Amino acid sequence: MTPALPDIHSGHVAGVDEAGRGPLAGPVIAAAVILDPDNPVCGLKDSKQLTQLRREVLYLEITQKSLAWATGRASVEEIDRLNILQATLLAMQRAVVMLSPPAQRVLVDGNQCPRLDCPVEAVVRGDSTVAAISAASIIAKVTRDREMVKLDRRYPGYGLARHKGYPSREHLLALQSLGVTPLHRRSYEPVRKLLRKDEAAGK
């Protein structure tokens, strides 16, 4: 089995990552995870490099073995009001403050950090190099994917269960034929362009 990637600091270190910055629809979800060094999770890596089945298996193991884990979100309305970067940082902040025990230090994937009451460090490509961030990426991805599957039943015809809100050809065609829902991010150009077109046509 592949050993868990090592964390680069000791203590209660939380890894933080998000899922859902790119989609045209749905919330952005962040996760924070404090791994247990005495109960490691093997095979952790960036969630995008794993199959759906493997993510589900690791999700269960992470939630069972971790010292603490939590998720946070920012809604479509918050994404449109704040912009996706600020909404993502807000979701990360919400995830971290939900941790119990609390984090003594936070490592965030990427190059931007949320405002927190403990030391926080951005780690570029952290989802591939820091075990706790890899775990957070899996929790965030699985959580958001499950939510999009449920939303597919509320908004049928858009294919949300398949593309999870990303701008696939199927999704763009459905938007054109079915229109914009409350689930869609109006600040994103494909959606904004369609709304402008509808407005010009008097719809």
Q: Give the pLDDT of residue 138.
A: 98
> In the CATH scheme, what is the code of domain 1-203?
3.30.420.10
Most confident of 10-14, 27-31, 47-51: 27-31
The Cα–Cα gap between 35 and 66 comes to: 5
Q: For helices 131-154 and 52-65, give the axis angle rounded to 10 degrees.
A: 120
| pLDDT for residue 19 is more than 80 | yes
Q: Give the pLDDT of residue 11.
A: 75
| pLDDT for residue 9 is more than 70 | no
Q: Which two tokens stand for residue 8?
A: 């680069």
The Cα–Cα gap between 192 and 49 comes to: 31
The whole-chain average pLDDT of the chain stands at: 93
To which residue do tokens 């050993």 refer? 3
Q: Give the pLDDT of residue 2.
A: 38
SS3 sequence of 25-57? ECCEEEEEEECCCCCCCCCCCCHHHCCHHHHHH
Q: Give the pLDDT of residue 33.
A: 98
| pLDDT for residue 38 is more than 50 | yes
Average pLDDT over residues 155-165: 97
Sign of the torsion angle spanned by Cα atoms 23, 25, 27, 31: negative
Helix (H, G, I), strand (E, B) or coil at 73: strand
| pLDDT for residue 121 is more than 80 | yes
Q: Which two tokens stand for residue 62?
A: 């992470």
| CA nearest neighbour of 146 among 61, 56, 47 | 56
Q: Which two tokens stand for residue 141?
A: 């991805």
Q: Give the pLDDT of residue 3.
A: 37
Domain locations in the chain?
1-203
Average pLDDT over residues 175-179: 95
C-beta neighbour count of 49 within 10 angstroms? 12
Average pLDDT over residues 18-30: 98
Q: Give the pLDDT of residue 146.
A: 98
Span 70-106, pLDDT tens digits: 999 999 999 999 999 999 999 999 999 999 999 999 9
| pLDDT for residue 203 is more than 80 | no
| pLDDT for residue 36 is more than 70 | yes
DSSP assignment letter at 130: -
To which residue do tokens 């008097």 refer? 202
